[in-house]
A and B are shown apart, each in its own frame.
Chain A
Amino acid sequence: MFESSLKQLGDALRAKKISSVELTQSYLDRMAQLNPQLNAYITINPETSLAQAKAADARLAAGSADALTGIPIAQKDIFCAKDWLTTCGSRMLHNFVSPYDAHIISQFNNAGAINLGKTNMDEFAMGSSNETSYYGAVKNPWDTQRVPGGSSGGTAAAVAARLCAAATGTDTGGSIRQPAALCGISGLKPTYGVCSRYGMIAFASSLDQAGPMGRSAEDLALMMNVMAGFDERDSTSLQRDKEDYTRDLNKPLTGLRIGLPKEFFAEGMGADVAKAIEAAIAEYKKLGATIVDISLPNSKLSVPVYYVLAPAEASSNLSRFDGVRYGYRAPEYSDLADMYEKSRAQGFGAEVQRRIMIGTYVLSHGYYDAYYIKAQKIRRLIAQDFVEAYKQCDVIMGPTSPSTAFKLGEKGDDPVQMYLSDIYTIAVNLAGLPGMSIPCGFGDNNMPVGLQIIGNYFDEARMLNVAHQFQLATDWHSRAPQL
């Protein structure tokens, strides 16, 4: 059952071979047993989850079930869920019980899915190792001495360890794809604007995007059918017709043109990662794809551009946390300014404070043009590289991360080294393109390697097809860690 796909679980539920209450209880039991060693979840509410399961069973009995009705899904703790503690991995929100649902949460509720719990994450989604969470680091299920990646590290670990059927993540600079790669699962960051950001605690609003994380491309497609769609409450949500993301899964890949950017295959990628990526490309050739050499000459500027834009937007978004209306307030202070400064200094962790400092500086008087506007101009150059590339190819492939999962504490206090672990993923966010990561083998120390697939705008259905055909031909995605 823990190895069943979402489609198989849905079929079993509708055929009454299992009830949602039984399925949910089985996951809760497994979580009680395994979560203590992984720390993948921040909050679990068994009674709430089981009440939802009971309602789902009634819906199943009434014959009005949707594809995900009754299926236990974990939610990244960045999504506000009514009456659930919603911390965003921060002390700042240690007592924030959300009074409302994020759009994504409403969508899953309407679909009859079960909220199995809120997954751990880097504080305010700022991190690439899940070590910045106020609630402790998440451990990689493949080796508990190693990080799961971040910021959706709790989600990635929960999916890999079969502590949920599938789960949500968010991706601002790689936070779905990098942990998916490091934990050997599949993850999709949609085109910017496809999934509503309403009720998703903001980090960098022009880059943040929600997406599904699961064990296969087919599962991701079913999740996308629930998550995607216009929402007027998000001013950047795109008005588009509803899509069925499963529609192209079974198309053959004959004639598919895969672009390989030379910049992604230059120095910097680990030899073990390179070997797995090359083997995956060879598999795609067998499936009928052709290879095109392309160039993304400005992609090397992604990291510096990102570390101007994302902190700038974060410093603005996080100014709302002032200890007045909700969240953490310092126990002692002398006046209002002191209350703000102490509440924020005590409520935010080191990495969040670092990014607020960078952002405040680059937006301050006299530096705005030199940093923020300059970065936005280079952002356009980076996006234009992709426009040129897609004249020659249908999808772009390369590594998701330069290395497999590193050890907890290994990157310690050097923020620049940590930032460089997102070197292949950030350009996709800057361009607003969809990107995904699927498991494609194992590197040194038997740790998973992720293949990144980057699509053109709104090409998610094709990317899922490209991933699904690979997963029909290989079994990397069905490998599970021993726990």
Chain B
Amino acid sequence: MIPYQPCLNIVFAMSLSTQDVEKVARLARLAMSPSEIETSRNQLNGIFGLIAEMQAVNTDGVEPMSHSQDLAQRLREDKVTESNQRAAFQAIAPQVEQGLFLVPKVIE
């Protein structure tokens, strides 16, 4: 619909391998079948084609920007401000026992 023209003189054109995508899926803790890995690889390569346009921009001497007002994070006193709501929080947990969140055994 939109005749968007990505910058074509990109030196950073890259392509993810199947192994790259498997590694990222593992880091992200997302179970993926081989066919899902392949679909993901194709879509990610398309998106990285779009993103690659950034690499042609000269950003020498430019400070990275994370907040529009460039504010430092506020500090507060290290004191308890929240009330104990353990029962309310555990009421919505997938699995609890004796006031503890249950997960599969980690240590043999």
Contacts and interface: CB of A to CB of B under 8 A. Distances in A.
Interface of A: 95-97, 99-100, 191-193, 206, 232, 235-236, 238, 267-268, 298, 301, 303-305, 307-308, 315, 319, 322-329, 333-342, 344-345, 348, 353-354, 356-358, 360-361, 364, 370-371, 373-381, 383, 402-403, 406, 413-417, 419-421, 423, 431-433, 457
A307 B51 contact: yes
A98 to B, nearest CB: 8
7 contacts: A267-B3, A308-B54, A354-B47, A377-B64, A416-B46, A420-B4, A432-B67
Given A354-B40, A417-B1, A341 B29 contact: yes
Closest 5 CB pairs of A and B: A432-B68, A376-B64, A329-B94, A380-B65, A341-B31
Contacts of A377: 59, 62-65
B1 A402 contact: yes
B76 interface: yes
A354 B43 contact: yes
A375 B62 CA distance: 11
A61 to B, nearest CB: 32
A19 to B, nearest CB: 33
Contacts of A406: 1
Contact of B93 (A206, A325, A383): A325
A481 to B, nearest CB: 23
Interface string B68-108: 11010110100000000100110111110000010111100
Interface in B43-65: 43-44, 46-47, 49-55, 57, 59, 62-65
Given A192-B68, A358-B44, A380-B64, A301 B24 contact: no
Given A301-B53, A345-B30, A415-B46, A235 B73 contact: yes
Contacts of A344: 28-31
Nearest to B16: A361
A378 B74 CA distance: 26
B44 A361 contact: yes
Contacts of B9: none
A356 B25 CA distance: 9
B13 interface: no
Contacts of A431: 68
A92 to B, nearest CB: 12
A327 B89 CA distance: 11
Given A378-B57, A381-B59, A357 B44 contact: yes
B8 interface: no
Contacts of B63: 377, 380
Contacts of A315: 28
Contacts of A323: 94
A345 B1 CA distance: 31
Contacts of A433: 68
A95 B1 contact: no
Given A96-B92, A99-B89, A457 B4 contact: no
Given A308-B54, A326-B94, A416-B46, 11 more contacts: A238-B69, A304-B54, A329-B95, A342-B31, A344-B29, A357-B24, A377-B65, A381-B57, A415-B46, A416-B50, A432-B67
Given A329-B95, A342-B31, A304 B50 contact: yes
B66 A206 contact: yes
